[in-house]
Amino acid sequence: MTYKFTANHIFNEDDSYMIMLGFADDEFEPSQFVIIQKAHEYDDQDMKLGMDKLHIQVEDQSRSQYGGISAINVTGNSLVIKLDDSGKSSLKINGDIEIMVEQNHPNLKSTLFELEKIVKKENILFINKK
């Protein structure tokens, strides 16, 4: 089953250590959300622990993983995050993640721009068919 929701709140933040991108159904009391993070640099310990990849979280920390994304597809009002088997298992999702977005949302363009940059660094396929 696909994890599907409408993102009324979209954000991206860069604190010079990492970039964080978020999609949530509500800004103040979210019940459904996806957060994607990528550090700007990784140290030896990060690499040894497998934490040198994109980090994705769905709803709470128990549903998170480093890696697990195989592709991202943006089409019209839909952002689909395709998960590999380990991503589906860790995030407790049987299918993919589909986020409905408002084309006129003030943060959508910049967030998709940042998302494309970080997934390409991870060699993850990014398709944008606006």
Which token pair is 104? 């006129």
Could you say which residues of the chain have pLDDT below 50? none
User: What is the secondary structure of 20-68 as a DSSP string?
Assistant: EEEEES-SSS-SSEEEEEEES---HHHHHTT-SS-EEEESEEEEEEES-
pLDDT of residue 130: 66
Q: How far apart are CA 85 and CA 8, in angstroms?
A: 28
What pLDDT, on a 0 to 100 scale, did the predictor assign at position 1?
A: 75
The pTM assigned to this predicted structure is 0.94
- Give Cα 127 to chain centroid, integer Å: 14
Beta pairing partners, 6: 100
Q: Return all residues near 114 (Cβ < 8 A) that are at least 6 apart.
A: 12, 14, 19, 21
What pLDDT score was predicted for residue 129?
A: 86
Place of tokens 């890696």: 67
Tokens 């991870």 found at: 122
User: For position 98, what pLDDT does the model report?
Assistant: 98
Judge whether 107 and 10 are in contact, CB under 8 Å: yes
Q: Render pLDDT for 97-110 as a digit per residue (tens, 0 to 9).
A: 999 999 899 999 99
